[in-house]
Structures are given as structure tokens and as C-alpha cells.
Structure 1
Amino acid sequence: MSDSQLAKLPTSGMRRWQLTPKIRLTSVQATLADDLELRGEGDAHLSLVIMCEGAGWFRLNRQAIQHYCADSFWLSCASGRCQGYDFFPRHHFYHLLIVDFSPELLTLVEECGLRVPGDEPKVFSAALAEPLKAAMLEIQQGWNEASPLAALHLESLALNALWLALGQLQTQQEARPQPTASRLPSRERKRLIAARDVIRQQASEPLSIEEMARTAGLSLMAFKRGFRAMFGITPWNYVIECRLKLAQNLLEESALPLSDIALRCGFAHASHLTRFFQRQYGQPPGRYRSSCQQVRMAG
């Protein structure tokens, strides 16, 4: 929800807290006496809505209507301004938590292999699993502890809730049936092979999955599913794999500092490279470089 929409919510049963400059919490536990319609326009956002009880529906821009329902969650992503409309029917008890994160964290959605928001916003949804529900309740229970340590704890809980939501959405997407390479049309296979070659050649440059799909002449969904069917990996994970290979070569063959290697290989910063390198190779870049030096000296 945008700021203008949140401002129209009934104050009874609602609490808001700007936890940090990058995280805002809104908790609602109330019964509506009248129907509530919310219209508004908001900026780029990454918002997690967790609903234990409630009903209604919402719409972003002119997209299809989506329904609110109990024991569900929604992750709303937009990289630009968008219009929203929410409707909540009267005589329902609403128990929900809204966690608004900085749009800077939108890259996490991309790194999880989910659709990266382009000009149009995107909302992911799933049934509310027990770990995420427990995280929501723990956030609401810790609300009354007004201390710096309590705020730090709530910040960690909010980030953990986002981690749980992204993990569940990623698992949900991976479980969907994917087309096999043998069923892809010959023309589509050729386009996907060409796209893979472009990624490999330009991995260190800024790359957009949506732009690659357009260049290949495929819809975003067809490109992502076809790429995974052909090569057993998502397009973005392949970009990361190619960048890590470049970084690996530079660690072995150069004395460049890690920050320079990260930038040369397309990573935003050294910690970004370190996180992916550790995940791929089981050790941080510095240790890998030391191991390579020891091998050369022993030889």
C-alpha cells in the first residue's frame, strides 16, 4: 500500500513504526464497521503483506484483480510509480502485517530467480507457511519493547520474514512443470543458444533479463522457462555463474584487489562477489586466492 492509502486506514487497531530508514512496519488487528476502499499512487516499492485473517481484493495499475484471503502472503514489487486500489469488506476481522522495505532490496527478487519488476509492478503470492506466520506473530509481540536492542531485534525479524517469503516463492516457482528442451521449437532453441552466448561474452556488463528476452524475440516467461529447459539453469543464475568464472580467473592470475575484481566482473561491490563466490565454491575469494598461490609455490 502507498502512503496515501495507509493514511486512510482506520487508526483504531492499527499501529505503524518506521523501524529504520529502510524498513517500515504496519500492523492491523481490527474489525471494519463499513466497507473500506483505498486508492492511491506510490513510488517504487518492495512490500510484504502477511494476512492471518481478512478478505478483499486489490489491483495495481490496470492489471487483473487479485484477492486477499486468510493465511496467505503477497510480495509486491515495483521499480517505478504505480497506482493501487484496495477493497476491504465490512464485518470482517483483519489481522495482518505489512512490511515495507527499501526498493534497493528489489535485487533480491532477481537473485532468487523471480521476475524482476520492469515498467509494470508484479505481485507474488502464496499460502502462509508456518515459519512465516510465526515470524509475523513474533514481530507483533515484540512491538511494545521500545529500546534500541528491541528495534534491532525487530529489524532482524523483518529481514528474516522477507527471506522466508522469498524462499517459499522460489521453491513454489521451481516446483512448476518446466518444458523439456526436446519440446522447444527449433527456432526457439537457436534463439536461446544465441542468448546464452551473448551472456557469456557480455557477463561483466550490465545485463537485463527482460532486455535479453526482447532481443531473443521471446516473452519473458518463455525466455526464462526455455533457458532453464535448455541449459538446466535460470538466465540470471547463468549470468552470475559467468561472472564468477571471470572472477575466479582474475583471482588466479592477477594481484588486483577484490573490489576491483568485483567491478570488472559485473558485481556491484566486493561483498556481493564474496557472497556468491562462497556459495558457488565453498570458500571466500581471499582464501581461494591464497590456496592458488600455495599451489603455485609448491609446484
Structure 2
Amino acid sequence: MLVIVLFLCGFGGFLLGNQYGHYRRLSPLLPWYLSAFPPRPITVIQWFHRQIQLIWHYKSVAGKCRGRPLTPVYVEDWILTIHRENPGYSCRRIAALLRHDLKRPIDKNNVARILKKHGFSPPPSDRSRRYQQEPTWRTFLNNHNVCGMDFKTTFDIYCRQVFILNIVDHHRRRLIWSRATYNPTAQWIAQQLREAFPFDDAQGRIMVMDRDTAFSHVAKHTLPGFGMQVRRTSYRSPWQNGVVERFNRTLQEELLDYLVPLGLRHLNQRLTEYRHFYNTARPHMTNGGDPPVISDGNAANDSNMSQEPERYRLKSVQWVGGLHHSYRLNAA
């Protein structure tokens, strides 16, 4: 009877040891060794306990999918659609569009993995920040009443230099105003400020600007007349007005690089369209992936899609003549 028990324990340990890689050390205990080298009773007890553990381990994991849940097929289709329509969008931006527009949170690394699986080369990751501001400047610039303005230059179809005045709110990076001119006089700048801050919107705000001579008159007379405080940056210190400087780069990369202005009217129309897209549809990392202005349409897009999202059809909304896109879900 004892020989039969030892045989079953040894043979069972041999089979389970081959089924589970971390128990392969049981496989050398072949039955014919038991007559010449009988194991100790504690060894037989350990074999029994290990077999019980293996049996319950197998029962607990059998038929279950281990690891993170797979990304649904319809989400992969959304990612591929966004990438085809916007090949320059980074994985972080595609993930932000899915989180904000389509209410489907996903990690940027999963987006890169899906694009690579389907043969697309993901754009390079976002560059790290090259500089950091002092704590006092960071506190100052993040104040919700602070905004900054600066000029961005470009050229029209006749190679004439065009000056674009941009005013950006520091709190949620809202683009307050963007307008172009050939001759940025003090009178023209003052008129743009009146249109950008109608009524009493400028009261109590702080305006950050550089030491361009075109701003001298408005800094001394126009802005104080609006009830705004003026903070001018140091000489050759563009990082002190980094919010507007960063927007100028975004404007260049997302609009001006793909546009040949036919004149002021044409450029100002495109700037107005881009301002609407930038404020209501473009995701911003500073706002957690949300645009600066959250409209009622964005809130309505979140209704009744959590039950069966695969029944909804992906709809793209074109901005700036199809240069950029935002996405919504419609019932199929």
C-alpha cells in the first residue's frame, strides 16, 4: 500500500512538474527510484501539499483572461481614423481627443502600440520642456487674471511682412484675440484691445508684454485707461512671456505652415476660424485634455454612450478647411 502511495505521489509530481515550469524539480523523482532511495515522510507530505496548491491554482486561472483587458476593435478603428486624417498628431494628442471628444480614456502608450500593430509609424514623443520658470513667475503667470500679448510675423503671397497680434489668457490658455495687419501702429493696437476687451472685461486684469516700441503708447495710456495693470518683461527675456511665445509656435505649426495668405482679409478669416477651433475643440494638456472653452455640444456628446459604445458611429468635424478635425459619436 505504501509503495502505491509513493508511486502516485511521484508520478503525479512528475506530470504536474512538467505542466508547470516552476515545479520541474519534481520530474526526476521517477517511480523506479523509490525502491532504492525511499523518500522521507516529510517529502511525501510536501508533495501532497504542492499538488493541492497546483490543483487550486489551475482551477482559479483556467478559462480566465489574465492581464489588462483588450482594447475594443471599434476603439482601434477610431484611432486609425484619427491618425489617417491627422498624420501629424502625436499619440498624446490622439489619446486626448479620445478622452475629451469620445469619452473613451486610453493611455498614449496604447495608442502607439495600436498604430505600430497596424503598420503606422507613431510621431515622435513630445519634447520635454527646456526651461523652468522661477516659482514667483509661475505663480504670477498662472493667475487667472493674467493675459499676455505679442506679435507673430509671417509673409503674404507678395512677400510682404504681416504682423499678427495674439492675446492669450493664462488661466485656461484661451485665445482672446488674433488679428493681422501690415502696419502695427499704436492706434491700431489700441483699437484691437477695445475689440478684444469690450465693456468692462479688462477691469482688474494684468497684461504681460515685451518691450517692443509699438507697445509703448498702449502700455502708458490705453491699458491703464481700461483698468489693466501692465507688466513688461526684461530685455531679451522671451521666457517671461512664455504662454504667448508657445502659442506663436503652435500657430506656426498648425496654421501658418500650411497657408499662403492672399491678403489681410484672407488671413484674418483663417485666424478667426482657427481661434474658434483652438478655444472649443483643440485639447490642451494644461486643462487635462479639455479645450479652454467647454461648450454645451461637448457636454451633450457624453449622453447615453456608456452602455453600448460600439453602436455609435464616429463622425469627424472639419476645422480650418479640413486642416484639423474634432470627433463626435452619433447613433448608428
TM-score normalised by L of structure 1: 0.20
Structure (1 or 2) with the greater strand fraction: 1
